Structure 1
Amino acid sequence: MSEPHYDVAVIGGSQAGLSMSYHLSEAGIDHVVFEKNSPGHAWRTQRWDNFCLVTPNWQCKLPGFPYPGDEPNGFMPRDEIVRYVEDYAARIEAPLRLGVGVQRLGATDAGFRLETSDGACTADAVVLAVGGYHQPNIPRLAERLPEGIVQIHSSGYRNSRQLPPGAVMVVGSGQSGCQIAEDLLLDGRDVHLVVGSAPRSPRAYRGRDATDWLYDLGQYDLPVERHSLGEKVRRRANHYMTGRGGGREIDLRRFATQGMTLYGRLLDLAGGRLRFGDDLRKNLDAADTSYDNICAVIDRYIDDNGIAAPPGHRCAPVWQPGATVTDLDPVAAGISAIVWATGFRSDWSWVDLPIFDGAGYPTHTRGVTSVPGIYVLGLPWLYTWGSGRFVGVGRDAAYLAERIQAHRHQAALAAA
């Protein structure tokens, strides 16, 4: 019995893979979408109970399915995000193979072969729409912490009640770390936060949400090659703020005035004591500088276009670090749990194709890899700031659909 063959195989059935399916269907291209779990699975299983989108609902613009609710300026909570993705899959009637994971992808003489949990198949082209957040990244020093301290990764955090009584340390001050630290603080927990170099952003500024201004400014359309950091921006943490409570800023200095204990970057664990860098003030100042820079960009846009808007403002620090704390005995401090908000590692070990750089990142130009017929989609800064978000993934999928059409045409000419 011959193996099934598809013109295009899409691996991953969340917003990126579904957007790809939409544009392939529009182009009349036969395809299949392999999803080892279900649409929206990561949103359901890797987000805490009070999680909300950071960007406003109106930015949910999956192709053919803009945000359907009545709160365009609100911020969808976790369960609504899951429904939005699931409803999208149903609306476009995506050819999903649910519960089927791809275990190996390699080349054949005529195309590509996929080994799945439900047998093998072949395809002329393959789109890797699996994102880049595959495995929790927890530092090895975690292995040396006292056994009595409960440890979880941010993707496993749901609420404060799952943690034992006592103080909680959150390691990492990106979006997840800051929002989880706030969640714990609002629940009355004693919170310790290890602060890194993540930038912060205003929420509301001069009468509108800051992301509304940035959208009008074209920031979500800025190609990676035109960013001042170039491809290095792909490794940069996102600005922290929150959509919780209708959307608000996150100011770690204010958290400190409310009882949260802040530290510099975690360096090591030695003799049962955690070692921190002497960089807390530097990291807080850098985050505020990022905040002020965003305000300045918006100010210039308002001035250049003669837009009537309320006055602006800049950061006014409400707290400054005192004596530097560079080490801590977590047991003596009453810390019963640590939440590792330290990001994820990519795992492309199942892809037997020469498309990766020395760091294991897929080399590509706007999602088109160095291997003809292999494409990537849904990665942060794949092409623009919006590439890894609901607002921009559809445009990237449309572009790849055009490139797939061109690939198919070239293959047909070569076979003629």
Structure 2
Amino acid sequence: MPSVNFKIVWPDGDVGVYYSPSTVIRDHLQSGSYPQDGFRRLCTTALNAASERVRQRFGYACTAANAELEKISDKLDELQARHIHGPVQLAAMDTEGRNLGAGKPAHYSAMVIGAGQAGLAMSYQLKTAGIDHLVLEASGEIAHAWRHERWDSFCLVTPNWQCQLPGFPYQGDDPDGFMVKEDIIEYLESYYAFFKPPVVFHSPVTELKREQGVYHIRSGERRYTCDQVIICCGGYHEPRIPPAADALPPTIKQIHSRDYRNQDQLPEGEVLVVGSAQSGSQIAEDLHLAGRQVHLCVGKAPRVHRRYRGKDVVKWLDDMNYYATTIEEHPDGANAPHATNHYVTGRDGGRDINLRIFAEQGMKLYGRLKQASRDSLSFHDDLAANLDHADEVAARIAASIETYIQQQGIDAPADDNLNSDYLPPEVTQLDLKDVNITSVVWATGFHLNYDWIQLPVLNDEGFPLQKRGISPEPGLYFLGLNWMHTWGSGRFYHVGQDAEFLARAIRKRHRSVGGAACV
């Protein structure tokens, strides 16, 4: 009685060869793609039919068919428990136990690396285009970085109406508010549930290379191949901590901003925050509001008003088409992605962060950290210049909005922002025995780490080589980078637009290399 072996490529990348004691299985299953629920039903019908054929011929049911069905059902249950909803590929069917190559890598038309907002947006566009793909996510959950790499009081600095993931724009009742950490997580979880992308969790990519026009991806013991690959890993890979950290006394607790949660995780005493961009200024505010004595090293980050003349500055700039400005049109050009973000906050409905006012309230401000030792800290003599620069940028943005208001003849209320010209004393040397600094928060940014990419798509500093996400390597793309195309490329606002642009390029190449017809 001829039997059939059939190879299944599961949506998490696993590949298995299964057995049917009868060719009757071919009446129910053909090579191709199946939704998981439908595949379970068809396999149940097919293997029960095969077992019945054995019973009819030999007088007893085939336990092997039942065992194979149990293995398939267990695998489908596992995929559902892991929230992996992609299709099952029945790759091949051969008679008489021929070797179907269970160890061969699973192949997809496209692979997405990373399941943050960029990876999810890309998966949505690929699914809409009918392109088979898989999403590999290093962590075990959606919104991992938002859950575990942000402080408790974290919130977006852009209003909710800018949350525009493709097919899933913000639909709440507070469009001008600012999502707090829990809201961001819920937004991404809801997006995941909305279209059920084929995400494989616990799958950090350790190697990406290209051989004979095909991309090869390694994730632990699993291997994949694909025609095209989209890298959606953001730009916050490894904490950057300056060498001064090693010189501080061991009694001082040190953490990076990525690991800060709230003031309760720090020992009692005063806190030094190094860095005054968005993370540093917001963490300094968090500690200041908690009643801690904060010492803040102020860098060259600019600031911006939260509101001006009755409207959020973000809304004014959107009305002025600022966010449609491309990197080619930006005055800083290729340097725009490396510019420091303006500090402001969405906390408690949104407000300015004015370091001069914090200093008036008792926060200690210094210039940039220069050196550290077991008993002292030294600072650059640039506090006044850095505060002036931040104020000048805020004033310049307000002036551009004012020009727009006058040109458009808009009737807007008077500006009611609180300003200060207070200049704290310029301290360039601090003896640690004169203060009670017991902890340091390093808000000093991140390094990129794309060491796993074995292709010439990075510059000498390790930054991706790309133009609107398209790399020099055919079929390789980046998505979700800061200023990849516009200001919103690295944010919820425009990442969907960039994903749609890349999907068109991917679809065009998919057709040119002989991919299946898109639906």
Matches within 5 A, 1:43-62: 43-62=146-165
Query: Once the two structures are superposed, what CA deviation does each residue of 1:4-62 show, in whole Å capped at 9, x if it has no partner?
Result: 00100000001000000111111111111111112211011111011111011111010
SS in 1 for 2:395: helix
Aligned-pair CA distance for 1:313: 6.8
What code does the residue aligned with 1:26 have? T
Q: Deviations over 1:270-297 (max 9, x none)?
A: 4632111100000000000000011011
Q: Secondary structure of the residue that 1:226 maps to in structure 2?
A: coil
- The residue that corresponds to 1:348 in the other structure is 450
Using the TM superposition, name which of 329-338 and 70-79 deviates more.
Answer: 329-338
In the alignment, what sits opposite 2:348? Answer: 245
1 CA distance for matches of 2:339 and 2:283? 20
Partner of 2:512 in structure 1?
A: 410
What is the aligned partner in structure 1 of residue 307 from structure 2? 204
1:198-347 superposed matches below 5 A: 198-270=301-373, 272-312=375-415, 316-322=419-425, 324-347=426-449
Tell me which amino acid in the other structure corresponds to 1:131.
Answer: G
> Is the counterpart of residue 11 in structure 1 residue 118 in structure 2?
no
Conservation of the 8 A alpha-carbon contact between 1:58 and 1:72: yes
Residue 409 of structure 1 deviates from its aligned partner by: 2.9
Q: CA deviation at 1:305?
A: 1.4
Letter in structure 2 aligned against 1:198: A
Q: What letter is aligned with 1:268?
A: Q
Matched, 1:361 2:463: yes
Residues in 2 aligned to 1:316 and 1:154: alpha-carbon distance in whole angstroms:
28
Describe the SS at the equivalent of 2:136: strand
Q: Matched residue of 1:121: which SS?
A: strand
Identify the residue that residue 275 of structure 2 maps to in structure 1.
172
Distance 1:266 1:238 in 2: 19
Distance 2:269 2:169 in 1: 44
**Equivalent-residue separation in structure 1 for 2:374 and 2:151 (angstroms):** 33
Residues 110, 226 of structure 2: 8 Å contact kept:
yes
How far apart, in 2, do the equivalents of 1:215 and 1:80 lie? 23
Could you tell me whether the CA contact under 8 Å between 1:295 and 1:314 is conserved in 2? no
2:297 maps to which residue?
194
8 Å CA contact 1:104, 1:352 repeated in 2: yes
Paired position in structure 2 for 1:91: 194
| Higher deviation after alignment, 63-72 or 160-169 | 63-72
Asked if structure 2 preserves the Cα contact closer than 8 Å seen for 1:295 and 1:312, the reply is no
Maintained 8 Å contact 1:151/1:338? yes
User: Does the 8 Å contact 1:175/1:240 carry over to 2?
Assistant: yes
Structure 2 residue corresponding to 1:23, chosen from 125, 129, 135: 125
Query: How many residues align structurally?
Result: 412
Seq. identity, %: 49
Q: Is this contact kept in 1: 2:247–2:374, CA < 8 A? A: no
The residue aligned with 2:286 is 183
Q: 2:243 aligns with which of 137, 140, 146?
A: 140
The residue type equivalent to 2:125 in the other structure is H
Relative to 1, partners in 2 of residues 1:285 and 1:348: Cα closer, same or farther, differing over 3 Å? same
State the 1:410 CA deviation: 3.0
Is 1:372 aligned with 2:474? Answer: yes
Separation in 1 of the partners of 2:221 and 2:142? 18
Which blocks of at least 5 consecutive residues in structure 2 are unaligned? 1-101
Which one is further off, 399-408 or 279-288? 399-408
Q: CA deviation at 1:86?
A: 1.1
Contact 1:288 1:315 in 2 (8 A): no
Aligned to 1:64: 167
Is the aligned partner of 1:120 residue 2:217? no
Give the Cα separation in 1 of the matches to 2:336 and 2:492. 19
Give the SS at the match of 1:267: strand
Q: Is the 8 A contact 1:56 1:73 kept in 2?
A: yes
Structure 1 window deviating more from structure 2 (302-311 vs 387-396): it is: 302-311
Q: Does 1:156 align with 2:249?
A: no
Q: Aligned AA for 1:343?
A: G
* Root mean square deviation of aligned Cα: 1.3
**Closer/same/farther in 2, CA of residues 281 and 315 from structure 1, 3 Å limit:** farther
Taking the aligned partners of 2:358 and 2:150, their CA distance within structure 1 comes to 22
Is 1:398 equivalent to 2:500 in the alignment?
Answer: yes
Q: Which amino acid aligns with 1:191?
A: V
Distance across 1 between alignment mates of 2:498 and 2:343: 25
Structure-1 separation of matches of 2:444 and 2:176: 30
Is the Cα contact below 8 Å between 1:134 and 1:346 reproduced in 2? yes
Report if aligned partners of 1:131, 1:379 keep a CA contact under 8 Å in 2: yes
Instruction: Give the Å deviation of 1:412.
Output: 3.1
| Cα distance in 1 between the residues matched to 2:362 and 2:191 | 43
Question: Greater CA deviation, 141-150 or 112-121?
Answer: 112-121
Secondary structure of 1:401's aligned partner = helix
Cα distance in 1, alignment partners of residues 209 and 178 from structure 2: 40
Q: How does 1:72-91 map to 2 (within 5 A)?
A: 72-91=175-194
- How many angstroms does 1:83 deviate by? 1.0
Q: Within 5 Å, which residues of 2 pair with 1:382-393?
A: 382-393=484-495
Question: Separation in 2 of the partners of 1:329 and 1:119?
Answer: 54
Aligned-pair CA distance for 1:64: 0.5
Looking at structure 1, the residues matched to 221 and 200 of structure 2 have their Cα atoms a distance apart, in angstroms, of 9
TM-score, scaled relative to structure 2: 0.78
TM-score (norm 1): 0.97
Counterpart in 2 of 1:106?
209
Return the alpha-carbon distance in structure 2 between the equivalents of residues 91 and 406 of structure 1.
26
Deviation at 1:231, TM superposition (A): 1.1
Verify the 8 A CA contact 2:248 2:374 in the aligned structure 1: no
Whole-angstrom CA distance in 2 between matches of 1:303 and 1:28: 48
CA distance in 1, matches of 2:365, 2:357: 11
Per mean C-alpha deviation after superposition, the further-off stretch among 167-176 and 118-127 is: 118-127
Report the alpha carbon displacement of residue 144 of structure 1 after superposing the two structures with TM.
Answer: 1.1
Q: Once structures 1 and 2 are overlaid, which stretch shifts more, 236-245 or 299-308? A: 299-308
Q: Helix, strand or coil for the counterpart of 2:251?
A: coil
- Cα distance in 2, alignment partners of residues 33 and 296 from structure 1: 45
CA distance in 2, matches of 1:9, 1:18: 12
